[in-house]
Amino acid sequence: DTEVTQTPKHLVMGMTNKKSLKCEQHMGHRAMYWYKQKAKKPPELMFVYSYEKLSINESVPSRFSPECPNSSLLNLHLHALQPEDSALYLCASSQLNDRVPGELFFGEGSRLTVL
Amino acid sequence: GENVEQHPSTLSVQEGDSAVIKCTYSDSASNYFPWYKQELGKRPQLIIDIRSNVGEKKDQRIAVTLNKTAKHFSLHITETQPEDSAVYFCAASRNNDMRFGAGTRLTVKP
């Protein structure tokens, strides 16, 4: 299984809603990532989990809250978002090796619209 | 943190011609340089990558070169085909911190 699965594929939410994005992989990868991608822009790193611990937080607003319950799952909890947070949220995973970075395997993304 | 610059932002070539995309990076500790292709509405997909201990790598019509001293790397696509049309992103990674260039929209005209 070389897939990273993201749900939901599409999400529309109001600014007062609480929702979650979910990501799952069964490749044994111990690094998992959240990227945000706006239209016609590159993926922008948000968070990295290494061995289920948050290792990189790119100064993301607290209305985005990541969670890594186990080595296969990654969540992104959303609360009190703004319309400018509308974007494609990509989850990725990779092997973890301090010396040799690994290929990122991306999910199909969750397209979020904040009204 | 790492800063990756990519040029050109758009590139249009005739089918059969070659295409070259160039990137520079700022962090000399970066040691992994992948290239991703993203078609409209799809996820980024790895097309080729190179590690810092290698200067060049080729896979059929695609090749990547790396100059560590100058901190730049390039993607070369030969004999381009219409299905090569997409957005291409370079990236540079240190450990598991991967940053992307701004992207190049390649159009291959039949």
Residue in B10, B30, B43, B66 to test binding to A, most A beta-carbons within 10 Å? B43
Q: Residue B62 has what pLDDT?
A: 98
Question: Where residue A109 falls among pLDDT bands split at 50, 70, 90?
Answer: very high
Banded pLDDT at A98 (limits 50, 70, 90) = low
Burial class of residue B1 (count of CB atoms within 10 Å of its CB; 0-12, 13-18, 19+): exposed
pLDDT of A92 above 80? yes
Q: What integer pLDDT is reported at residue A1 of this predicted model? A: 65
Is the per-residue pLDDT at B1 higher than 80? no
Residue B95: what pLDDT? Answer: 80
Give rounded-to-5 percent helix, strand, coil for chain B: 5, 60, 40
A86 to chain B, closest Cα gap in Å: 15
Q: Model confidence over A38-73: pLDDT tens digits?
A: 999 999 999 999 999 999 998 899 999 999 999 999
Q: A106, A110, A111: which to substitute to probe chain B, counting the most B Cβ within 10 Å?
A: A106
Residue A30 has pLDDT above 70, yes or no: yes
Task: Give the C-alpha separation, B44 to B89, whole Å.
Answer: 8
Conformation bin of residue B16: beta by default, left when phi > 0, alpha when psi is -120 to 50 = left
Residues in a beta bridge with A102: none
Judge whether B88 and B62 are in contact, CB under 8 Å: no
Which stretch of A81-90, A91-100, B6-15, B47-56 has the lowest confidence by average pLDDT?
A91-100
Share of chain A above pLDDT 90, in %: 83
Query: What are the tokens at A53?
Result: 């611990």
A29 close to A95: Cβ distance less than 8 angstroms: yes
For residue B54, name the pLDDT band (cuts at 50, 70, 90).
confident
Cβ-Cβ contacts under 8 Å, A104 against chain B:
34, 44, 46, 98
Alpha-carbon gap, residue A27 to B29, rounded angstroms: 27
Vertex B108: Cα angle to A45 and B86 (nearest 5) = 20
